[in-house]
Amino acid sequence: MDMLGDRYEITSPIGRGGMGEVFRGRDIRLRREVAIKRIGGTLVDDEEARRRFVREARITSRLHHPGVPTVFDFDEDELYLVMELLPPDNIGTLLADREYRGLPLGWAVSITAQVCAVMTAAHDVELIHRDLKPDNLVLCPNGQVKVIDFGAAASLNQTEYSMITRGRRPPVSLHYSAPELLDGAPSSRANDLYSIGVLLFELLSGRRPFDSGKLTDGFLADRTARPPIPGIPADLLRLTHNLLAVDPAQRPADTRTALRTLAAFAGPVPPLPGWAHPGPADDPVRLYVDALPSPA
């Protein structure tokens, strides 16, 4: 059994990401289960990958929000990150299940609103995620959503974050990235708003807005179109289309605004067998909206 830092036992693999692997582990001092993320393979010697990994650790540890996994420990020499242990599956896996393509409206709104709440906290400290997609969202059994993988994040300030993001362009997900980001424009909060729009559309309809399944469709499609979603309230469809606006200036002012709009459609959500069984007191959307600070 592998040991890290004479403290963490690696017990079993959980999954593999763009930069490395995630393992289930145990903190033998505090006697608790943890998740351990490590850079793997040839990336150990890749200086850019190492910088991204350090950046992700620092960003995740400083985002104090229940929708971001808690960071317990980080070792910059051995390059491992110890975090709160989350369920192994994500929203991408959920959407791949034919039974859940096109979620009930309450779930689509709840998931998207929680992402908006997390990104409000991130944007308030000048951080842009830039890789919001279903695979980077974990759904917990109580219905809470955790946003993960800040490895491609950027800072709007001249801080340590921006200093270590220089170099090659970070990886982005073609189907979920804002048009201006794919065109090489500077990062902005509006990038994440567009990704949230793609997510909301997919959760409501079971398909992405501008592609038919081919890899290049989302990039080549006319993104000025306003694809319909049958049976969706007009105000919610309007918000979805505004989030997907090609012109960043036409999107909602910020994630705080989008969250407050979504909250009007939030309500009790039914159980998702095999995924989540929220109880009557589990309402993270309302909790996050009530806790929103006013913009500075």
Residues in the chain: 296
Backbone angles phi, psi at 176, to 5 degrees: -110, -5
What are the structure tokens assigned to 157, written together? 């300030």
Tell me how far the alpha carbon of residue 193 is from its chain's centroid.
12
Three-state SS at 26: strand
- Cα separation, 5 vs 115, in Å, equals 34
- Cα separation, 226 vs 238, in Å, equals 9
User: What letter does residue 272 receive in the DSSP assignment?
Assistant: B
Which residue of the set 2, 75, 124, 131 is catalytic? Answer: 131
In angstroms, how far apart are the furthest CA atoms of the chain?
Answer: 57
Active site residue 46: no
- Classify strands 71-75 and 80-83 as parallel, antiparallel or unpaired: antiparallel
Tell me how far CA of residue 30 lies from CA of 7, 26, 80, in angstroms.
9, 9, 18
Three-state SS at 224: coil
AA letter at 3: M
- Among all residues, which ones are annotated catalytic? 131
